[in-house]
Structure 1
Amino acid sequence: MKMRQVGLFTLSLLLAGGSLAGCAKKDEGSAAGSDKKNVVHLKFWGGVPVEAGPQEVVDQWNKENPDIQVEYVRFVNDDVGNVKLDTALMTGQDVDLYATYNFARFQGRAKSGLALDLGQFKDYNIDEMMGPNAADWKVDGKYFAMPTKRDLHFVWLNKEALDKAGLPVPYNWTWSDMRKYAKTLAGVKPWGLVEDMVTWDFVLDSPIVTEGFVKPDGTSNLDNPYTRKILETMHGMMYEDKSIPMYGEQLANKMRVEDEFLKGNAGMFYAGEWIFRFANNLKDYPRNFKIAIAPIPKVTEDQKNHRVFGGLGDAIAINPKSKNIEAAWKFMKWYADGGMLPLTKGGRIPSSKAVSTDKSMQILLDGVDKLYDVDSVKKVLFNNDFKTFQSSLPQQMIDARKKEYQLYFTNDQTLDQVFSKVVKSHNTYLQQNK
């Protein structure tokens, strides 16, 4: 309860600061000759640091649209930050538009009435402009948010370390192959592989998403052999191979794995396209080694319908309580169809057909192309043949599963105990939500 009170107090301070900033912007608009009474002010909440593109986006919009002024409010895209956003939405505080970064969390928001049904707008076809993967973000067959970027998890590779170890850039590979790569690379770098904590909740879903989280008999499928194989592999890499950091230490020390990789301390890095905002920032993350990328491996060679977490992401929604819904919709369309391009340098590649692949690639690698294995970047990042997914496992179950696998990675329970508890919890959830 105390943590919640502190969070609400902090949120109040943030919003108060935002209000002051909004007032300052109103004064600036008035000084420029704008009619203060006719200016609409929107607040757009997002998880991307303001200096990584969002400020440039809103500055450009505000310059072109003096009658609709947008202020960007940053929340950290973790559990605490998302609670702040949910609290602001539920209590009617200033949120006009907001971004969500995984479907499970957004599904809860939509079902709680915290996102506007976009079907009321007839001047923009989301399916046509964003492609078939946009449908992954539908809730009960409707769009309550517009996904705006290509979303993909993949493996970052230190090309220099690969070359020293005599390893090729992999493409068609398995988790067993990745373990061998990590063990070999650990002889070249301190770590063979590091993994971003954001990905832990979804790496377990890719091998079973085509089968479904529920078996035909209506019981949990979370104890499938593919998920077991992934967990066993990662545990072995920690305790037997010593090729990846101990989960408990990484969690306790809040290890910044992007720092470890970009400093040259790891041969591989399991993350996604959002890391470009660090990798392309040579001022704060100087490096002289090339980066290659590889797709997420299959669990086994014979695995069918292999899918990679991704598709489309950065889903933008409108708060139904906004007093300026039409203005918010106007901004959303502009943002999706190219307004968001300043974020592309940080890896947020627009999914709208209004933006060409060549344009996105040019911005993404502008000035840094010599520090990438460009062929592998194109082959993976701009490959439309990958089968992708957005996890539909309820957030409640994602959290319950995390609690159990964390205990396995700290050797506080066996893998059998993990699956016993997870399946029991999931079956209870399924019974209660029939």
Structure 2
Amino acid sequence: MKKMSSGLVLMLCVALLLSACSGNNGNEKTGESNSGSNSDTVTHLKFWGAIPEENGPKQALDTWNAANPDIQVEYVRYINDEAGNTKLETALLAKGEIDLFINYSMDKLVKRIQAGMAEPLDTYVQNDSFDLKDQFGENAIVKMEDKTYYIPAIILNDFVSINKSMLDEANLPIPTDWTWDEYVSYASKLSKGQGNDKVWGSFVNGAQPKIFEYMDKAVKTELGANAMYKEDGSSNFDNAAFKKYLDVMFQMEKTDKSQPPYAEAKMSKMEGSRMFLGGQVAMNWVGTASLRDIKNLESYPHDFVTAFAPPPKISTSSKNIGGGTGYLDYVTINSQTKNKDAAWKFMKWYVTEGNEPLIAGGRVPAWKHADQDKVAELILGDNAEKLFDINSFKAVAFGVKDFVVDTKFDKYPELQVITNEEGERALIGDETTAEAVANMKKRADELLGK
């Protein structure tokens, strides 16, 4: 009995010694993972994102977890609204809750980087000889303080969806490079009918009427990044591009009557995609995410082919074709995670081949080595030839080589409010477009000068 007890003591001592040797000495594969697992062979990561799990993330993580038994990743969904983003940031401050997370706007990403919530990636990139320029393009990543903090997983293109039957009936070709003046002409020619039978040539305002969002996209084709700001820190609303956009909207709504009036659209909560698929709108400025609605014949039955055109430019000399949303799903590693090496390994996979299951939902990979034919096939679905003009889709989905990426966000939410308020006054006729941009300039400069 005594020998047996001594043997047990010896075994316990050896076990404790082995446990100490395999303790938390920089080795991620310990029981001290963020999920609180007691395994000494598996690293558990928590990956936060806003896309519903059933729309691709679950399939992506199932693929990773099956191939990587030593690094298991759990997806945690948060809602991409103010409450959801606050929840994310609160969890980032609580150590152990998040290993990786996706950001869905550059202004929020910048705020999180400045707060020290994101891990610099340069050492990992260099150690793996991971050529970001080759993999994602020269302008896909904006360095901050000369450091790389994120990699974009997708490109969310903006484009104009056009009812091809209506286009053919009006003897108009699919535009491949056009200005707002040409867009106005198309809208006028595509409008027809009255009252309940009215077909509007255009609906620019997305899901529901929005001024700032679409004005910002439009002027970026002319002005490039940080369009709202001058170099001296004042606002740029006195640039002719802002007035031009309001003039175009005013002409279509009030003069040509080729687009629903802003007040009516806002009051009745008109939805551009629903009206387009219902045959009430000929052209609708949307993004790749809306393609899932076009494919959804059960909810949106229609029998016409959808063609695509790039967003109109302010002028023929505009060079920044990619003035829309562009790079998105900015993947970052939490600076507080204890599992940085494992997080990087998963992140590198996810932003290249790993997010393929999300393509069907309209999320075009930012990874330049993705198979474009396969991407188009996955996005457009089984009824592609019946529902889409495939060549025009490929032109807008893959034609833009680099997108405009903002880096300045001084008083950004307040500037959005000013733009929406003054723009609305112009479109309902309470002030002229010249007065509207003058008031935007005056109010924004006062704000930025504080």
Q: Note whether the superposition's TM-score is higher than 0.5.
A: yes
Query: Does the 8 Å CA contact 2:45/2:343 hold for their aligned counterparts?
Result: yes
1:323 paired residue number: 338
Query: Does the 8 Å CA contact 2:215/2:245 hold for their aligned counterparts?
Result: no
Query: Does the 8 Å CA contact 2:179/2:316 hold for their aligned counterparts?
Result: yes
Query: Does the 8 Å CA contact 2:226/2:407 hold for their aligned counterparts?
Result: no
Q: How many equivalent pairs are there? A: 398
Q: Does 1:274 align with 2:280?
A: no
Please, which runs of 5 or more residues in structure 1 have no aligned partner? Answer: 1-33
Match among 138, 147, 152 for residue 152 of structure 2: 147
1:325–1:216 Cα change, 3 Å? closer
SS in 2 for 1:274: helix
Q: Determine the C-alpha separation between the residues in 2 that align with 1:378 and 1:149.
A: 16
Q: Does 1:313 align with 2:328?
A: yes
| 1:75-154 correspondence runs (5 A) | 75-90=78-93, 94-121=97-124, 122-123=127-128, 124-135=130-141, 137-154=142-159
Match among 171, 190, 195 for residue 199 of structure 2: 190
Query: Does the 8 Å CA contact 2:220/2:404 hold for their aligned counterparts?
Result: no
Query: Does the 8 Å CA contact 1:307/1:389 hold for their aligned counterparts?
Result: yes
Q: Determine the C-alpha separation between the residues in 2 that align with 1:278 and 1:335.
A: 26
Q: Does 1:46 align with 2:62?
A: no
TM-score, normalization by structure 2: 0.78
SS in 2 for 1:287: coil
Q: Determine the C-alpha separation between the residues in 2 that align with 1:259 and 1:340.
A: 28
CA shift at 1:267, angstroms? 1.0
Match among 147, 150, 163 for residue 168 of structure 2: 163
Q: Does 1:378 align with 2:384?
A: no
1:247–1:322 Cα change, 3 Å? farther
Moved more, 200-209 or 211-220: 211-220
Query: Does the 8 Å CA contact 2:222/2:315 hold for their aligned counterparts?
Result: no
1:83–1:243 Cα change, 3 Å? farther
Match among 353, 356, 359 for residue 338 of structure 1: 353
| 1:159-238 correspondence runs (5 A) | 159-187=164-192, 190-194=199-203, 195-196=205-206, 197=210, 199=214, 201-209=216-224, 213-215=228-230, 219-238=234-253
Could you give the per-residue CA deviations for residues 313-335 of structure 1, whole angstroms, max 9, x where no partner exists? 22111121233322222211111
1:159–1:47 Cα change, 3 Å? farther
CA shift at 1:143, angstroms? 1.4
SS in 2 for 1:309: coil
Q: Determine the C-alpha separation between the residues in 2 that align with 1:178 and 1:246.
A: 17
Moved more, 184-193 or 272-281: 184-193
1:226–1:306 Cα change, 3 Å? farther
Question: Sequence identity of aligned pairs in percent?
Answer: 36
SS in 1 for 2:222: coil
CA shift at 1:47, angstroms? 2.8
SS in 2 for 1:45: strand
Give the aligned residue type for 1:419. Answer: V
Larger Rg: 2
1:249–1:393 Cα change, 3 Å? farther
SS in 2 for 1:71: strand
1:49–1:90 Cα change, 3 Å? same
1:216–1:336 Cα change, 3 Å? closer
* Aligned alpha-carbon RMSD (Å): 3.1
Q: Determine the C-alpha separation between the residues in 2 that align with 1:176 and 1:132.
A: 32
Could you give the per-residue CA deviations for residues 272-329 of structure 1, whole angstroms, max 9, x where no partner exists? 2222233233444333211111011111234455552254322111121233322222
Give the aligned residue type for 1:257. Answer: G
SS in 1 for 2:279: coil
1:352 paired residue number: 367
1:20 paired residue number: none
Query: Does the 8 Å CA contact 1:202/1:391 hold for their aligned counterparts?
Result: no
1:52–1:206 Cα change, 3 Å? same
Query: Does the 8 Å CA contact 1:52/1:277 hold for their aligned counterparts?
Result: no
Please, which runs of 5 or more residues in structure 2 have no aligned partner? Answer: 1-36
1:427 paired residue number: 445
Q: Determine the C-alpha separation between the residues in 1 that align with 2:154 and 2:168.
A: 32
1:211–1:202 Cα change, 3 Å? closer
Query: Does the 8 Å CA contact 2:176/2:310 hold for their aligned counterparts?
Result: yes
1:274–1:333 Cα change, 3 Å? same
1:251–1:406 Cα change, 3 Å? farther
Query: Does the 8 Å CA contact 1:147/1:315 hold for their aligned counterparts?
Result: yes
Give the aligned residue type for 2:61. Answer: V
Give the aligned residue type for 2:88. Answer: L
Q: Determine the C-alpha separation between the residues in 2 that align with 1:90 and 1:247.
A: 42
Could you give the per-residue CA deviations for residues 343-364 of structure 1, whole angstroms, max 9, x where no partner exists? 1112212222442223322322
Q: Determine the C-alpha separation between the residues in 2 that align with 1:69 and 1:278.
A: 33
1:74 paired residue number: 77
1:199–1:112 Cα change, 3 Å? farther
TM-score, normalization by structure 1: 0.80
Give the aligned residue type for 1:422. Answer: M
CA shift at 1:232, angstroms? 1.8
Give the aligned residue type for 1:397. Answer: Y
Q: Determine the C-alpha separation between the residues in 2 that align with 1:320 and 1:186.
A: 54
